[in-house]
Structure 1
Amino acid sequence: MAEIRIVGTAHVSQHSVDEVRTAIEEYKPDIVAIELDPSRFAALKKQARDPTVNDVLEVKNFNSLLVQWLLAYLQRKIGFDVGVEPGAEMKAAIEEAEKRGIPIALVDRDIRVTLLRFWNSLGIFEKIKMVWALIVSIAEVDNGEKIDIESLKDQDVIDMVMEEFRKFSPNGARTLIDERDAFIAHQLILLKVQRPEGRVLAVVGAGHRQGITNHLDNPASLPPFDSLTREPKSFPWAKIFGFVVTFLFAFLLAAIAFSGVGWNVLLYAFLFWVIIHGTLAAVFTLAAGGHPYSALTCFCVAWMTSLNPMLHAGWIAAYVEARVRKPPLTDFRKIYETESLSDMAKIPLFKVVLVAALANLGSILGTILYFIFVFPLLKIDPGYVISTGVHNMWTWFTGLV
């Protein structure tokens, strides 16, 4: 029966690089399995095609993409501090295997599927906590806080970190850790079947080692493979929120119209909707470093897109920003190579994505503030307007019937 040895690494550790090279030399595996998928393998080998701005605009998953870029920046920044390129141990495994003519197996799940499942698994508060924790971590690293990389391979430290992560974000931990442990274990078992007499050396992050080992020791614990590979179909909370907003706005205008407080109040209610949404979306666009044309576009369309669950102001702002900035093909790679957040913020493609995310945030905030402050702004009694408006609407409707 095939033998499997697992090497747990830290992704920015020189010791891990040396450990991988030594393991391949001493263990003499028949195949080297690495914690990469084809797209990350190609990126590590500098063979990947950089996505165009049109590719980014078509996907429209701007928030997830921003989180991915910030996570990559954080890992890269730690790597700079310790003098090791992120993924250096995977690159060392690839180089050693190719030098010795040993086949390489890519055993991790498609990064696109993992990110989609991760982002869609998070509730709104988990997403806020995750982004805030990411920002705080980046600030700490940028301010020179040192991290003991080698301690992250100690099992006691790993267990403590994993436990904290599960408390912080149980859904995120399940998607990023548990599901990938199971996926990699499935792949390693398949390699055992394909090479019953061979020796497999698996190079994985230290945080995955124990979970994978547990699955290999007890294959019955593995979930069905297809349950780990399907693209997620999350509940459409955003669309439902959009339909609710549209209904509430239409109901509010109808109540004002039928309440008898005057058509000028109805007109002001509509104008406040336009102004509040447009102003906040435009301000957030400018805060993201967006072009004035993008901010002006946001101001003009935010009131409409906030009433259409199938459309977002940020998407339109991003399209305008892309046409004005014209990000070159090299921008995607530059984002993954930049050494500071200030440099990243100057990259046109990053501006496009940041504008999309913040313009949408501004529009959502506009919706919330509108329903909180519309009656004080209109200087009318909400109880009177709603009760009278509903009564008059019902009377008018029953009269028609």
Structure 2
Amino acid sequence: MNDSSPDEGRVRVVGTAHVSQDSVREVEATIREAQPDMVAVELDEGRFRQLKGGTPDDIEARDLLRGNTVFQFIAYWMLSYVQSRMGDKFDVQPGADMLAAVETAEEEQIDVALVDRDIQTTIQRFWRRMGTMEKLRMAGDLAFGVADARGVGIIFGIVVGVFLGPLVGLYGDVVGITDFVLARAATGALLGAVSAYFIYAVAATTMDGDDALVAGVGGGAAVGLIGGVGLGLGSGLVTGVLGGLGTAIIGSLAIGVSVGIAAGLVVGTLLNVFGLFQAPEEMEEFDMSELTDGDVVSAMMEEFRRFSPGGAEALIDERDAYIAHQLVALRESGRDVVAIVGAGHKAGIERYLANPETLPPMESLVGVAEKDGFPWGKLVGYGITVVFVAFFALLAMAGVGNERLLTIFGAWFLINGVFTFGMAKLAGARWTSALVGGLVAWMTSINPLLAPGWFTGYVELRHTPVNVGDIGTLNKILSDEETPIVELVKELFDVPLFKLIMVVAAANIGSMIASFLFVTYVLPVIAADLGGVSGVTSLMLDGAANSADLIWSTLT
């Protein structure tokens, strides 16, 4: 209960665990006993409607082009999944406490106030506040179950490996990576992939789905290394089918990614050994009979904080202030209020209620969160666009003919379009969606602030509605520990939200791959008579010199 002047109302804050049956009973009893003027609940309009069985909000197609929409839903999905798993553990539906508060208030004919910030705003700010390292750590934990330096190292190694692969193809001969080595690496990668599939298929008939997957990946890696890389089994067939360029592409990417993962794992392990990377402590198993509601929710809050202190600020601290703003306004209007909030929010809200002058301005708690620090992403994005335009301008100034420039641009357009279209179609995109992504890929590749996946997803959403309710379906699928993982993946692709995420991601990945392949493999081939990469570089320098001379002569 909070002190107030005679003209003000009073606010009583009840902290609950969103997955606790005990909390449900406490909420019902408190409201019936207190008989307040209003019951305030930690819900926004969308979640309230969904909790009452209404239709969740659809994602608007135009919102996808604002950027980060899919990533925000991934973050929302992660948070919802953690809470859902806790609900399964304690045998109570997540949100049962809020539903009990609403239904009890309705039975007692008490008004209900929705005092939480819009979930889309919260998730958007949560994502924007996460640093790059925090996102890598989260990816490592979700993908490999490792959130310490090893998980970060593996994810970082994969990213570095994708960049390293094309360099291996271009300059590998300097360090002894010959065509023979590239052929063995490509053979090992393909033989390992095929072997992994067959080993998994056989193992799945007698083993648990996840165990069969481990057996498939481990067995495939062993066969690829020993049979493909070591003995060269099928090397002649691979080079004959793929040709020299295809073999070099697959082989160099396989070497780059393998080296990146290995180096990342080694560096991550060393950082852990020497204590240079503070790994978060593992969450302890919960026992509802031994923990209070506050303990459970606080533990879940700390789980989010270990991923991202900045993200937790948006997820927890900002919402404390937002909810407190709403409750202060209700109190000042003279109402007696019982506020039902998550136990992890109770202490922060009560501090603000006791000292409302410490509340941050409301305008700082809503809208788009700005990232702290220098906008390196935008700088790099604009820089790539400038480099692309300068590339053609300098070649033109060096005297390269229009026909050759059109050939180079056509190759850029084609490889971006084919890879973007193909990857989006593999992810299940409609023909029209994949085609739109392919047609704009050349443009979005020179402006990283855009992405072909946004356009592909935009068209996809015109035909397949996606809404927040899909997250509940995804949680049910992921909570199934009996179904083999391959079947689970098929079920996931039947959910519109998951399919949208995969389509957008696949289109973007296809464009990225195409861009690297163009610079490192395609350009040297189509510019072979110009001297390859080194020859084109020399021409660009000549073009820069000619441009400088022209500018100087014009000025003087």
Specify the TM-score bucket, using the shorter chain as the normaliser: 0.7 to 0.9
Distance 2:16 2:516 in 1: 46
- Given candidates 95, 109, 120, the residue that maps to 1:112 is 120
8 Å CA contact 1:335, 1:344 repeated in 2 = no
SS, match of residue 51 in structure 1: coil
Cα distance change, pair 44–113 in 1 and its aligned pair in 2 (3 A): same
2:45 corresponds, among 38, 48, 51, to 38
2:298–2:343 Cα contact (<8 Å) kept: no
What residue in structure 2 maps to residue 62 of structure 1?
A: 70
In 1, Cα distance between equivalents of 2:287 and 2:117: 25
* Distance across 1 between alignment mates of 2:60 and 2:118: 21
- 1:87-98 to 2 correspondence within 5 Å? 87-98=95-106
2:91 corresponds, among 71, 79, 83, to 83
Deviations 1:73-116 (A, max 9, x none): 44334434543222111101111111112222211112232233
Residues 56 and 469 of structure 2 are in contact (CA less than 8 Å); yes or no, is this contact kept in structure 1? Answer: no
Q: State the one-letter code of the partner of 1:202.
A: A
Moved more, 89-98 or 29-38: 29-38
Corresponding residue for residue 398 of structure 1: 552
> Of residues 358, 362, 365 in structure 2, which corresponds to 1:228?
365
CA contact (8 A) 2:46 2:57 kept: no
Q: In structure 2, what is the Cα distance between the partners aligned to 1:193 and 1:201?
A: 14
Q: What amino acid is the match of 1:336?
A: G
Residue 345 of structure 2 is matched in structure 1 by 208
Q: Quick check: 1:10–1:152 contact (8 Å CA) kept in 2?
A: no
Contact 1:35 1:203 (C-alpha < 8 Å) held by counterparts: yes
> Are 1:322 and 1:349, in contact at CA under 8 Å, matched by a contact in 2?
no
Matched residue, 2:19: 12
- The superposition leaves residues 209-264 of structure 1 with CA deviations (integer Å, 9 ceiling, x where unpaired) of 22112222332321112322344466987665443222111112233444568878
Whether 1:380 aligns to 2:518 is: no
Q: What is the alpha-carbon distance in structure 1 between the residues aligned to residue 83 and residue 425 of structure 2?
A: 28
Give 5+ residue unaligned stretches, structure 2: 146-208, 211-282, 479-488
Matches within 5 A, 1:188-337: 188-195=327-334, 198=336, 200-232=337-369, 240-259=379-398, 266=405, 269-307=408-446, 312-322=451-461, 326-327=463-464, 333-337=469-473
Counterpart among 494, 502, 505 of residue 354 in structure 1: 502
Which is further off, 38-47 or 164-173?
Answer: 164-173
Between the aligned partners of 1:74 and 1:346, the Cα distance in structure 2 is 22
Describe the shift of the 1:52–1:94 C-alpha distance in structure 2 as closer, same or farther (beyond 3 A).
Answer: same
What one-letter code is carried by the residue in structure 2 that aligns with 1:208?
H
Q: Output the CA distance in 1 between the equivalents of 2:107 and 2:409.
A: 69
> TM-score, normalising length from structure 1?
0.79
Please state if 1:21 is matched with 2:28.
yes
Provide closer, same or farther for how the CA distance between residues 222 and 335 of structure 1 changes in structure 2, counting only shifts above 3 A. closer
Q: String of CA shifts for 1:319-353, please: whole Å, max 9, x gaps.
A: 44345xx3258x66345335215434213454234
Is 1:122 the counterpart of 2:130? The answer is: yes
Task: Give 2:312's match in structure 1, choosing from 173, 198, 216.
Answer: 173
1:184 pairs with 2:338: no
Counterpart contact for 2:20–2:293, Cα < 8 Å:
no
Q: How far is the alpha carbon of 1:10 from its aligned partner?
A: 2.2
RMSD: 3.9
Q: How far apart, CA to CA, are the structure 1 residues paired with 2:547 and 2:522?
A: 21
CA contact (8 A) 2:17 2:296 kept: no
- C-alpha distance 319-194 of structure 1, shift in aligned 2 (>3 A): closer
Larger radius of gyration: 2
8 Å contact 1:66–1:354 — kept in the other structure? Answer: no
Residue 211 to residue 376, structure 1, CA distance change in 2 (3 Å): farther
Pick which of 291-300 and 5-14 moved more: 291-300
Q: Distance in 1 between matches of 2:324 and 2:298?
A: 19
**Which segment is superposed worse, 204-213 or 224-233?**
224-233
Q: Using the TM superposition, give the Cα deviation of residue 397 of structure 1 relative to its aligned residue in structure 2, in angstroms.
A: 3.6
Question: SS of the residue aligned with 2:124?
Answer: helix
Query: Using a 3 Å threshold, how does the CA distance of structure 1 residues 393 and 59 change in structure 2: closer, same or farther?
Result: closer
Preserved CA contact (<8 Å) 2:131 2:308: no
Matched residue count: 391
Residue aligning to 1:148: 286
Q: For residues 301 and 78 of structure 2, what CA distance do their matches in structure 1 show?
A: 20
Q: 1:202 to 1:372 in 2, by over 3 A?
A: farther
Relative to the length of structure 2, the TM-score reads 0.60
Q: 1:105 to 1:370 in 2, by over 3 A?
A: same
Distance (whole Å) between structure 2 residues aligned to residue 152 and residue 250 of structure 1: 62
- Offset, 1:50: 4.1
Report if the CA contact (8 A) 2:13-2:339 is conserved: yes
- 36-45 or 350-359, which moves further after superposition? 350-359
Q: Is the 8 A contact 2:32 2:108 kept in 1?
A: no
> Amino acid of the residue matched to residue 354 of structure 1?
M
User: Residues 344 and 83 (structure 1 numbering): CA distance in 2 closer, same or farther, change over 3 Å?
Assistant: farther
Q: Distance in 2 between matches of 1:270 and 1:71?
A: 44
Q: Displacement of 1:292 after TM fit?
A: 4.6
* Conservation of the 8 A alpha-carbon contact between 1:8 and 1:153: no
Bigger shift: 54-63 or 247-256?
Answer: 54-63
For 1:334 and 1:161, how far apart are their aligned partners in 2? 23
Does structure 2 conserve the Cα–Cα contact (< 8 Å) formed by 1:10 and 1:149? no
Query: Identity of paired residues, percent?
Result: 41
Q: Give secondary structure in 2 for the equivalent of 1:380.
A: helix
Q: CA deviation at 1:40?
A: 1.5
Contact 1:255 1:389 in 2 (8 A): yes
In the superposition, relative to structure 1, how do residues 65 and 153 fare at CA in structure 2: closer, same or farther (>3 Å)? same
Distance 1:84 1:232 in 2: 34
Which amino acid in 2 is paired with 1:201? V
